Amino acid sequence: MLGINLQGKRAFVAGVADDGGFGFAIARALAECGASVCVGTWPPALTIFETLLRRGKLDESLTLSNGEKFSFEKIYPLDAEYDRWDDIPPEIRSNKRYENRGDVSIQGVAKRFMEDFGDRSVDIVVHSLANGPEVKNPLLETSRSGYLGAVGASAYSFTSLVQHFGPLTRPGGSFLALTYLASERVVPGYGGGMSSAKAALESDTRVLAFEAGQKWGHRVNVISAGPYASRAASAIGFIGKMIQYYRHNAPLAETLNADEVGHTAAFLSSPLAAGITGTTVHVDKGFHSMAVPIDVESTLPND
């Protein structure tokens, strides 16, 4: 039987702070296939995440299909809005949720990763990060700082991850990010420059696939996932309606399950996908292929 085998592989999943999002589902899928998994967690959410783990509140979600519970090999405090320690403003460094956490920049985490595991010690790097400070604002009402903040946190952070983890990744490594259909279609209400950030992320994926492939032999892909009611997505404010709309209009009239994204990520991270790079893979029940909604007749005026 042809199966996904990630035994002996180590993964770093950036953007895991609970068990309710795509990042956690990807981490669990990688563990299910035999990989050891490290995660990066936003410092303001890290204490709560560590407490949930310590008290066993996530035990059910950590249980694999064989009945065993997996644990994260290492949890790193990571704020992917900052590439280097010097980029972190003094008021952030001294914040009680950041102090005593060390260098939480992308470069800092990469350095700590190498200190913990040595050179060429990772095989899979996953970017499950997005933030738009003005996501509820229409683009016409988005400030320059809000727009650039969305692009920096949601798109450039992936480039920075590849820059800093590329040299640490074994040959044939896999880099993977998460995007959304707003990169190529208009989604009213998904504002603040986030649609532009996702478009940049997909464009960067293609360029990074070329550059990282030529330089290190790594693959770079992105998953375009359908709407899912994670904590981060709930900040948009209309995620419930989006899920309903997708379920009604997609070729597969079903609600997306986070594990479906996790399984796709495991495949793309495995040797089975050795020939796939620079690609956007849609995991949205086929919604991206639809040009008009199913009930379009009821929305059109009579002739």
Q: Which residues are catalytic?
A: 180, 190
- DSSP per-residue codes, 229-284: --HHHHTTS-HHHHHHHHHHHSSS-S---HHHHHHHHHHHTSGGGTT--S-EEEES
Name the residue among 62, 82, 61, 98 with its Cα closest to residue 14.
Answer: 82
Q: Helix, strand, or coil here: 132?
A: coil
Q: Could you tell me the strand order of the sheet in which 280-283 lies?
A: 74-77, 36-41, 10-14, 122-127, 169-179, 219-225, 280-283
Q: Give the residue ranges of DSSP H helices in 129-227.
A: 144-151, 157-165, 194-216
Q: State the burial class of residue 282 (Cβ atoms within 10 Å of its Cβ: 0-12, 13-18, 19+).
A: middle
In the chain the first and final C-alpha atoms are separated, in Å, by 57
Q: Give the residue ranges of DSSP H helices in 55-193.
A: 59-62, 90-93, 106-117, 144-151, 157-165
Residue 107 to residue 177: CA distance in whole angstroms: 18
Region class of 15: left (phi > 0), else alpha (psi between -120 and 50), else beta: left
Residue 13: which residues within 8 A CB-CB, separation 6 or more?
23, 26, 27, 30, 37, 38, 39, 40, 126, 128
Q: Which run of H or E residues covers position 47? A: helix 43-54
Query: 28: which 2 tokens?
Result: 């669990």
Name the residue among 262, 222, 82, 278 with its Cα closest to residue 164.
Answer: 82
